[in-house]
A and B are shown apart, each in its own frame.
Chain A
């Protein structure tokens, strides 16, 4: 079981002090938050992707590569990578590069993005969001698994003899989570490929997410990847922790009340009752988080949202101390004790290498000498058979 934090990358005015951080301050803060996450013993750091103010994270692989250099253990991932407005060819290249630089300490979560104006900035149309996401992933999946890809689809130019470089580290593609909160097709795609499924678990009652997670588990089994309990599930969640319940409420309330998305709407207490949000002492947050397992079954990754809504860096770092120091150690122990035998391990590069090669050496692709294109020959790598006969040389 992996525990971590996920950031939306919002730059929001602090409603208590009135201070709005500059982009420079917030980007500097997120590095400190990620480093702290490792320091307090968390396993995962996730960053979102946005292409409009007030968000800073337009380029997640650049940020994650930098954090990768500052850390040693932390798994770096996204929440989410836009599978709609990014060219899947660029995703394949950029994340494979990140995988090499972090020595496999990364994966990624794919999402569609729900901001309509962003789509045309990248030449796309939100009304085609679902087929775009599905088709783009079908291509991404092949780009990481086939050295040479011929492909034709509806949303980007065709590929002839294309090789995405670098090939994935150890020729093992990065693990992929498909994030969705209401689209059975996305859960079906995750199940079909045997990938992970992630529910953000923030805005709605858990019954809403449960329907989709149960569907994903059933379909994971139907597609032959293992029993339902072997499916790989990740969950979000939102917590604010203080030594006492009352202190947590008092401190978080002004941020809750003006938070983007749900601010100026429900009362904090009502929102806590109806959604996975927990505001309270470490024990209260532990108790609420343990209810997720009861609702969704054993799962592999828990990410908390803790740096949003204008919370200043000092408070976020305190939150990390409490999360890593008092909440997560108890959750690890309790969830391990309750875990049903035979459930999947949380995905890591080492685990995927082991699954693919056993004790054998992983493949290390070495390119053939440059010939200017990939179209006329077979494999561009030394260790692969040429699938097409080479032209006779003159």
Chain B
């Protein structure tokens, strides 16, 4: 097996310090690093503490203007081979800080990237937030959440089963990262996804001049020539 260097990025929406959300994200990240290293790779880790982006959030939400911290966070995610995303559950939903952050990202920033989904809550009644809500959100972004979702309520922190689940999720992430799935999608299949101009990974790879819209832009027609009433090619 060839040795690679992988970037893992932790995204945490925990707001207290210390934060159990951050703690859960860090444990999953450490485990993923250990597994990838044991398989002969080197790993760099960076973390995005969404609380630090709060001052720039209003302008990002209202005007799609990304401040310097937002820009840095987006660059890190763009370079990520694997992501660990963690949020506290508030009012039966993943915290608005995480969902707001994800809502202002370009739709194609995370395509094909493996993600561990993690949430913390005060009660086990919120356990389905990870697999119901968060999984749907990352599916929309066409990211690749690992099969094992992580959820920790108060009682889980004293249960070693949480460690087992963390190990399982981290292993899944490591295998997906190692497969190079996201990079291969980008190299081989990028044009098959919808991209906005100037977005995270769409058009810097080139603007497709060979499309119906580009033909229309250059004086062409959307109509099929063979249906023109006086077209002689059919006779």
Enumerate chain A interface residues (CB-CB to B < 8 A).
130-131, 134-135, 138, 141, 152-154, 182-186, 188-189, 192-193, 203-205, 208, 211-212, 215, 223, 261-262, 264-267, 270-271, 274-275
Q: With an 8 A cutoff between CB atoms, is B75 at the interface?
A: no
Residues of A near B222 (CB, < 8 A) are 131, 135, 153-154
- Chain A proximity mask over B42-60: 1 for CB below 8 Å, otherwise 0: 0000000000000000110
Q: In the complex the two chains form, what is the Cα distance from A238 to B48 in whole Å?
A: 34
- Chain A proximity mask over B216-229: 1 for CB below 8 Å, otherwise 0: 11110111000010
Chain B at the A interface: mostly helix, strand, loop or mixed?
Answer: loop
A-B pairs with lowest CB-CB distance, top 3: A265-B62, A266-B59, A189-B217
Contacts A138-B216, A184-B207, A188-B209 known; A270 to B63 CB distance under 8 Å?
A: no
Q: Is the CB of A266 within 8 A of B63?
A: yes
Q: Is the CB of B63 within 8 A of A265?
A: yes
Q: In the complex the two chains form, what is the Cα distance from A270 to B228 in whole Å?
A: 56
* Number of A-B contacts defined by CB within 8 Å: 85
Q: In the complex the two chains form, what is the Cα distance from A185 to B215 in whole Å?
A: 9
Q: Is the CB of A261 within 8 A of B217?
A: no
Q: In the complex the two chains form, what is the Cα distance from A261 to B223 in whole Å?
A: 38
Q: With an 8 A cutoff between CB atoms, is B100 at the interface?
A: no
Chain A: which residue is nearest B197 at the CB level? A182
Find residues 22-70 in chain B having any chain A CB closer than 8 Å to their own CB: 58-59, 61-65, 67
Q: Is the CB of B63 within 8 A of A138?
A: no
Q: Give the distance to chain A from B139, nearest Cβ to Cβ, in Å.
A: 23
Q: In the complex the two chains form, what is the Cα distance from A112 to B217 in whole Å?
A: 14
Chain A at the B interface: mostly helix, strand, loop or mixed?
Answer: helix
Q: Is the CB of B219 within 8 A of A265?
A: no
Residues of A near B62 (CB, < 8 A) are 262, 264-266
Q: Is the CB of A261 within 8 A of B63?
A: yes
9 additional contacts (CB under 8 A) given A204-B65, A212-B198, A266-B65: A135-B222, A152-B223, A184-B203, A185-B213, A188-B209, A211-B203, A262-B65, A265-B65, A270-B65
- Chain A proximity mask over B6-29: 1 for CB below 8 Å, otherwise 0: 000000000000000000000000
Q: In the complex the two chains form, what is the Cα distance from A152 to B221 in whole Å?
A: 9
Q: Is the CB of A131 within 8 A of B213?
A: yes
Q: Is the CB of B203 within 8 A of A135?
A: no
Q: Is the CB of B218 within 8 A of A188?
A: yes
Q: In the complex the two chains form, what is the Cα distance from A261 to B59 in whole Å?
A: 11
Q: Is the CB of B65 within 8 A of A130?
A: no
Q: Is the CB of A271 within 8 A of B197?
A: no
Q: Is the CB of B65 within 8 A of A192?
A: no
Q: With an 8 A cutoff between CB atoms, is B214 at the interface?
A: yes
Q: Is the CB of A134 within 8 A of B216?
A: yes
Q: Is the CB of A192 within 8 A of B223?
A: no
Contacts A208-B198, A265-B58, A265-B59 known; A186 to B65 CB distance under 8 Å?
A: no
Q: Is the CB of B198 within 8 A of A182?
A: yes
Residue among B64, B197, B222 with most chain A CB within 10 A:
B197
Q: In the complex the two chains form, what is the Cα distance from A134 to B63 in whole Å?
A: 27
Residues of A near B198 (CB, < 8 A) are 182, 208, 211-212
Q: Which of B67, B203, B209, B221 contacts A270 (CB 8 A)?
A: B67
**What are 6 contact pairs spanning A and B, CB under 8 A?**
A192-B217, A192-B218, A212-B198, A262-B63, A265-B58, A265-B63
Q: Give the distance to chain A from B218, nearest Cβ to Cβ, in Å.
A: 4
Q: With an 8 A cutoff between CB atoms, is B4 at the interface?
A: no
Q: With an 8 A cutoff between CB atoms, is B156 at the interface?
A: no
Residues of A near B64 (CB, < 8 A) are 203-204
Q: In the complex the two chains form, what is the Cα distance from A76 to B65 in whole Å?
A: 32
Residue among A182, A184, A274 with most chain B CB within 10 A:
A184
Q: Is the CB of A153 within 8 A of B223?
A: yes
Contacts A152-B223, A211-B198, A266-B58 known; A188 to B217 CB distance under 8 Å?
A: yes
Q: Give the distance to chain B from A244, nearest Cβ to Cβ, in Å.
A: 27
Q: Is the CB of A130 within 8 A of B213?
A: yes
Q: In the complex the two chains form, what is the Cα distance from A189 to B59 in whole Å?
A: 32
Q: Give the distance to chain A from B114, nearest Cβ to Cβ, in Å.
A: 30
Q: Give the distance to chain B from A139, nearest Cβ to Cβ, in Å.
A: 10
Find residues 153-211 in chain B having any chain A CB closer than 8 Å to their own CB: 196-198, 203, 207, 209
